[in-house]
Structure 1
């Protein structure tokens, strides 16, 4: 059986971070009351300097359009799956091969009521299937999934050395009503961050899964920056030439986004979700530069 538990492009390039944009996070975005078209969304993502897109698999009839736009903008593409069993993963892998350009699979494994040994066996089977197919698969830390809570997910990590994670700690902060200052939670986060394969950028607090970042001034921003930086450091310390770390701003539309009702009864978002995505991208780039520079300085000292 092949071993394919990390993302590598086969090149001799320095390990690097790529920042894709979530296609789900583009829902409803536009100007002057009109949502951007598919082509306009691609243009906006390209103009902002993203390297690719993360999305669920397109319908087969849309393959040609997706291929054309991905090629036009020289974008990478990662996909999101929701497997409940190994057959689901095999079907996803077959579809990914038909589509032809899937960089990796981000799995939100169903569901929150699968626990203990059953969960470990399911995760192992999913990872074996994707490794055999030669397409990396990473498991997202997500509420309502097999990774429902922090403690059970650290158990899975300890049981499965090949398990690599798409880190989205926003789910555990809101799910556990945490404020970023809980020492026990911090120790468990450290376990997960050792397995960082990618990061989803979203800021939550103990009550809301997606908060207004207030241009970076929200008190939770520094906590998330600290966690993301630690995940990047852990990944970089073990990276080899050609390895790629994924960072994806993932700010959801309503009802992730906070909304208010206006006089005509419409529900409008209280933040500029696109501008906040660009801020998350900027934060990730700054953290990455710090991590690389720190690693270089330590090499020099040695």
Structure 2
């Protein structure tokens, strides 16, 4: 059993709620018991200030999210990426979660992007964590393993749901790579994937019990490891998303579950699981 050292904070995604005005959304998030919001940051000054003011009014923390850089030309991509990460750091978020690079960039090119983020994090004093995500440098467990082995400064946002989809498995044959990623994890995206996709229809259904238990086992290890290291804080964002992540009825196009309810379910499950702030492993 570990000492009470690591504060666990829960964040709500803006993803799926961008149609709700910021003052209304921030109040809803606060009333639901979240500690903050994870979102991209608009360049429009008025929109940005409304967002920041709404978060401040409701005493909500900000995790700034980067996902927008998609240019296939590496040099252009690097310039845009560097500028965007620096911009996110300028609003002084708690941390930056970055979907970094491209799966088709070379190892060297993706390393240059990671080095750019490391430099910004060091000079601007805002940590940058890199999300395990399809289409990015970290699209699969085995490829991310190589980056971890070559970069002692690399810190991750752990979203293992993507790796399940890529590998068409619950990664029982890649335990070493998963363990290496867990050791570098500073932030978690709490969505449940399965062997055929990055999001189960509803984690409350028994047909997804094996997938849920796998994800919980990974998150338990992350919590235990951060407590063992006496890290002051570990953050979770509830990351069930809207359509097309959310399965829709093919004829009515209505979602088969409610995104807000699924994320509240995950928040309640994890907060109760870790509330005593001590875990036996």
Q: Are 2:78 and 1:78 aligned?
A: no
Which of residues 257, 260, 266 in structure 2 aligns to 1:271?
A: 257
* C-alpha deviation, 1:86, in angstroms: 4.9
- How do 1:131-280 and structure 2 match up within 5 A? 131-178=122-169, 180=170, 182-215=171-204, 217=206, 218-219=208-209, 220-240=211-231, 243-262=232-251, 266-280=252-266
Cα distance in 1 for residues equivalent to 2:87 and 2:112:
24
For residues 175-232 of structure 1, the C-alpha deviation after alignment (integer angstroms, 9 at most, x for no partner) is: 1100x3x532222211100111010011111112211235263221111110111111
* C-alpha deviation, 1:113, in angstroms: 0.8
Q: TM-score, normalised by structure 1?
A: 0.81
Could you tell me which runs of 5 or more consecutive residues in structure 2 were left unpaired when the two chains were aligned. Answer: none
* C-alpha deviation, 1:235, in angstroms: 1.9
Is the CA contact (8 Å cut-off) linking 1:203 and 1:224 kept in structure 2? yes
Q: Are 2:12 and 1:44 aligned?
A: no
For residues 38-60 of structure 1, the C-alpha deviation after alignment (integer angstroms, 9 at most, x for no partner) is: 33322221111001000001232
Cα distance in 1 for residues equivalent to 2:197 and 2:120:
35
Report the counterpart of residue 10 of structure 1 in structure 2: none
For residues 239-286 of structure 1, the C-alpha deviation after alignment (integer angstroms, 9 at most, x for no partner) is: 34xx22110011111111100145xxx411001211110111112213
Cα distance in 1 for residues equivalent to 2:54 and 2:180:
38
SS in 2 for 1:112: coil
SS in 2 for 1:128: helix
Cα distance in 1 for residues equivalent to 2:254 and 2:205:
22
Report the counterpart of residue 45 of structure 2 in structure 1: 60
Tell me whether 231-240 or 268-277 shows the greater mean CA deviation. 231-240
May I ask how many residue pairs the two structures share in their alignment? 268
Cα distance in 1 for residues equivalent to 2:30 and 2:120:
33
Report the counterpart of residue 98 of structure 2 in structure 1: 107
* C-alpha deviation, 1:69, in angstroms: 0.9
Larger Rg: 1
* C-alpha deviation, 1:131, in angstroms: 1.4
Is the CA contact (8 Å cut-off) linking 1:130 and 1:136 kept in structure 2? yes
Cα distance in 2 for residues equivalent to 1:26 and 1:232:
28
Change (3 A) 1:119 1:214: closer
Which of residues 83, 95, 102 in structure 2 aligns to 1:91?
A: 83
SS in 2 for 1:118: helix
Cα distance in 2 for residues equivalent to 1:49 and 1:261:
34
SS in 2 for 1:24: coil
Cα distance in 1 for residues equivalent to 2:196 and 2:85:
36
